[in-house]
Amino acid sequence: MADAATLMISVGSYLPERIMTNQELTALVDTSDEWIRQRTGIAQRHIVAKGEKTSDLARHAAEQALDSAGLVAGDLDLIIIATSTPDDTFPSTATKVQHQLGAHQAVAFDVQAVCAGFVYALDVADAMLTAGRGKRAMVIGAESFSKILDWSDRSTCVLFGDGAGAVILERSDNATGYGVLASKLHADGAHRDILYVDGGPSSSGKVGHVRMEGNKVFRHAVDKLSSVMDEVLEAADMPVSDVDWLVPHQANIRIIEGMQKKMGLSDDRVVKTVHEHANTSAASIPLALSAAVGDGRVRDGHVLAFEAIGGGLVWGAALVRYGRPSG
């Protein structure tokens, strides 16, 4: 019998209705549509409505992923939400969504790895499923980053948006070559001060706001992401030419294009949503994946390369052959 594999069998997503354009931001801070587009690629972002919570975004994305897989909440054994903007300090947003979905038998917890949250949660879920801790997992990236932005700080408030994306993972004992092919995570807490939130339960007692020295983070991004991408390609024993789609974290079009160039990928092999969604932190990869599955670009059997870096610093990458083997 082949080793256990973790298939990625469906995806769902949700974006809040309200769209905020770059132009609107010029009323809040000294910025311009031109600066934001040129430096980041961002044209707009979605923002939660009053009273709309991270759990609401996550639940909508989860329901769509369940629908498209033809599954019900009772089929899930594990729910992990990657988020840095939970509804409450505790309990976890995952337990809230578990209850709302009615996934009563599912183990549920949050993973906090900021913008790398999705690749972190994917690795944890893969490890649990292949270790026999259940048959199906839902990994959700969900964020209401608008709630932790300082709307008077032009160096951060123009960059982020809200949203959620969810994938369903399924353990298989006979699907060699499908599912999670390789995954690698890294962390280096020495870089804490270039990207952090200036608050928290045991420091200020307040939620706090995002603080970032963007150009310093930028300098780490392409180097660390390309080196971790090399690691997963090597671990999977796969040439980069076998990658059908790079589905990167959507922080900045210049970082995405830097990775695209390093990997030697043409435009038709990179999923880019940063112009429409901005940086949705842990939600950005599953949101991008959902867009590309939804419009037919990503199909069953395609090899996907995920990569992300975030506050910590934390970073990682994964290679996944999407869908189920036919026949």
Strand-pairing partners, residue 206, are 200
In the bound state with ligand UT7, the residue whose beta carbon lies nearer, of 214 and 325, is 214
Secondary structure string (H, E, C) spanning 46-115: EECCCCCCHHHHHHHHHHHHHHHHCCCHHHCCEEEEECCCCCCCCCCHHHHHHHHHCCCCCEEEEECCHH
Other Cβ atoms within 10 Å of 67 Cβ, number = 12
- Report, in Å, the least distance between residue 284 CB and ligand UT7: 8
- Sheet strand arrangement including 245-248: 179-187, 314-321, 303-310, 245-248
What residues are annotated to the active site?
115, 249, 279
Mapping DSSP to helix (H, G, I), strand (E, B) and coil, where does residue 151 land?
Answer: coil
Listed ranges 5-13, 85-93, 128-136, 155-163: which one lies at the site for ligand UT7 (CB under 6 A):
155-163
- Report, in Å, the least distance between residue 318 CB and ligand UT7: 17
Residue type, 139: V
Distance of CA 1 to the CA centre of its chain: 33
- Report, in Å, the least distance between residue 30 CB and ligand UT7: 7
Q: Which of residues 216-235 bind ligand UT7 (CB under 6 A)?
A: 217-218, 221
Q: Which of residues 88-147 bind ligand UT7 (CB under 6 A)?
A: 115
Other Cβ atoms within 10 Å of 302 Cβ, number = 18
275 is a site residue for ligand UT7 (CB under 6 A): no
Residue whose structure tokens are 């048959």: 135
Other Cβ atoms within 10 Å of 131 Cβ, number = 10
Among 17, 50, 152, 215, binds ligand UT7 (CB under 6 A): 215
Among 39, 133, 147, 275, binds ligand UT7 (CB under 6 A): 39
Among 155, 198, 199, 238, binds ligand UT7 (CB under 6 A): 155
Separation CA 10–CA 64 (nearest Å)? 9
- Report, in Å, the least distance between residue 218 CB and ligand UT7: 4
Among 95, 146, 252, 280, binds ligand UT7 (CB under 6 A): 252
Listed ranges 7-15, 48-56, 152-160, 285-293: which one lies at the site for ligand UT7 (CB under 6 A):
152-160
Residue whose structure tokens are 């940086």: 279
Separation CA 148–CA 80 (nearest Å)? 22
How many chain residues are in contact with ligand UT7, going by CB under 6 A? 20
Output the residue with the shortest Cβ distance to ligand UT7. 214
Q: Which of residues 298-327 bind ligand UT7 (CB under 6 A)?
A: 309-310
Residues engaged in binding ligand UT7 (CB under 6 A): 31, 35, 39-40, 115, 154-155, 158-159, 214-215, 217-218, 221, 251-252, 255, 279, 309-310
